[in-house]
Amino acid sequence: MNLLSELNCYGTCFTLSAPFIALLVVISIALLSASLMLRRPKQKLITFVSSQAVVFLSVALTFYLMDCSYMLTLYLYLGYAITSTVLIFGVLRYYDRIMVRRLDAKPMGSIMKWAQEFVDNLVQVQAKLYYFDSAIPRAFASGKSIFVSIGLLELLNDEELKAVLAHEAWHIFNNSQTPYPKQLAFMTFSSSESEFENMADRFAAEIAGRGALTSARSKVDKVFI
């Protein structure tokens, strides 16, 4: 099928299925609006993910209703879906092993034993804490590991560092659940990252205190101004 015929097929499909697609779009917009009004991060995330699920349903319904064979856009979308699935459920879940070698990261317990113990008590799973040589204040979670730069260790005091570690520990603890909404976000060309970050911040504030979290963010932000 050439591109012109495929566009004509889309036009026919949307004409025949317009009421169904329009209904799904309205439901998705309503859920998205509700997520913006909610205050609790978990409720916001659930509502936002529900909105994404409705969008994906409308995409799937569009392809299903189309009586068109050999569609280029369908094959491209399926290829994109398969690639993102392999990336999220395969590569990213074990990417920390690559990062250890790439950053020449060392176990944090060798220079700051309490930090590893703090993370172990929070996460309740096998989570390794590493430090790496970089003056840029940075911390991130990957797979089942947390990476912290020397620059961040020098910048923050112990309470501020606890807030950062608690934030990243939340990502580790929820690592088995977050790939699913992340995959859905890929499928709908959207993102749930801000909601995950809000939930991680809420957890960090409960563990280390809102003051320590705010102070840590303020110090890091000043470095990049």
Asked if residue 97 and residue 66 are part of one domain, the reply reads no
Q: pLDDT per residue over 107-124, tens digit each?
A: 998 899 999 989 988 866
CATH number at residue 177: 3.30.2010.10
Q: Tell me, yes or no, whether 62 lies in a domain.
A: yes
- Both 181 and 218 in one domain: the answer is yes
Domain range enclosing 37: 3-70
Is 137 in the same domain as 210?
Answer: yes
The confidence score (pLDDT) of residue 198 equals 83
The answer as to whether 87 is a domain residue is: no
Instruction: For residue 34, tell me if it sits in a domain.
Output: yes
| Cα–Cα distance list, 208 to 91, 167, 174 (Å) | 32, 10, 19
- Does 196 map to a domain? yes
Say whether both 64 and 105 belong to one domain. Answer: no
Strand order in the sheet with 145-149: 106-107, 128-132, 145-149, 139-142
Q: Answer yes or no: do 130 and 218 share one domain.
A: yes
63 & 123 share domain = no
Residue 19 lies inside a defined structural domain of this protein: yes
Question: Which pLDDT does position 54 carry in this prediction?
Answer: 77
Residues of the chain with pLDDT under 50: none
Are 43 and 109 within one domain? Answer: no
Q: How buried is 162 (Cβ within 10 angstroms: 0-12 exposed, 13-18 middle, 19+ buried)?
A: buried
Computed from CA positions of residues 156, 159, 165, 170, in that sequence, does the dihedral angle turn out positive or negative?
A: negative
Same domain, 99 and 197: yes
Same domain, 205 and 105: yes
d(C-alpha 35, C-alpha 46), whole Å:
8
Residue 4: per-residue pLDDT: 61
Residues 56 and 117 in one domain: no
Residue type present at position 125: V
Q: What is the pLDDT of residue 174?
A: 75
Within a domain: 79: no
Query: What pLDDT is stored for residue 146 in this prediction?
Result: 93
Residue 84 within a domain: no
CA distances to 51, 120, 164 from 146, in Å: 31, 11, 10
Which of 55, 70, 85 finishes a domain? 70
Is residue 203 one of the residues assigned to a domain? yes
Provide the pLDDT for residue 178.
59
pLDDT of res. 24: 74
Query: Which residue's structure tokens are 């909105």?
Result: 51
Count of domains for the chain: 2
* 100 shares a domain with 62: no
Q: Are residues 177 and 135 in the same domain?
A: yes
